[in-house]
Amino acid sequence: MGRSTAVAVACFAVVHHLGRTYGATRAERRASLPGDEVVRRPQTVATHAATLPAPPEEVWPWLTQVGWHRGGWYTPRWVDLLLFPDNLPSADELLPGFPSPTVGDLVPDGPPESGCVFVVRDVVAGERLVLESTTHLPLGWRTSGRARLRWTWAFTLRPVDGGRRTRFVFRWRARTGPWWLTVGTQLLIVPADLVMSRGMLRGLRRRVART
């Protein structure tokens, strides 16, 4: 293996590791979280975390409005333009009309014709929100059975510093098939998640601090 190849492999390993662990402590990565029971035997797990400068009850409204043509995911605008150019910018303020979700509610994550949605599987206001999707694949792949996906996003809020701040932990778990989709998830989605999740955590922290 040449030196340049070794450097590239080492860089990928670092980015891949951060794509699964950014911001989270070892204890948080090992802990059981709400939603873990939804996807059994996942091939991919990523846990991220940040401490936000507000109590959970002030962070929670930002989670109730996430989604396509809603509040977005608080990622940087350049990321939205690059990956989701048809989506609205992530909201910089709390929007009216988005009460706390209930189990079974749908959270859109793509244009209506894509059929791409999350389903709320578990929710306790101010404490946790668990979303599940089997639709985050090209429509042709889903209808033909060429590929399959079961994927959860779990957001948990825990008061720290006497309730003045919030420890926000975000975990996603995925079971995918066939093998080439699982390999693609590891090679592409996990490294990309470093950018996406880091941007979301920073964006959420900035919005919470401002309001």
Range of lowest pLDDT (6-10, 45-49, 100-104, 186-190): 6-10
pTM of the model: 0.92
Q: Is residue 201 part of a domain?
A: yes
Question: Is 2 part of a structural domain of the chain?
Answer: no
Tens digits of per-residue pLDDT, 114-173? Answer: 899 999 999 999 999 999 999 999 988 988 889 999 999 999 999 999 999 999 999 999
70 in any annotated domain? yes
Sign of the Cα torsion 67, 73, 76, 79 reads negative
Whole-number pLDDT of residue 200: 95
As for how many domains the chain has, the answer is 1
Over residues 3-28, the mean pLDDT reads 90
Domain containing 199 — which CATH number? Answer: 3.30.530.20
Q: Which domain holds residue 124?
A: 7-210
Q: Has residue 66 been placed in a domain?
A: yes
> How much is the pLDDT for 1?
59
Q: Is the pLDDT of residue 18 over 70?
A: yes
Whether 1 maps to a domain, the answer reads no
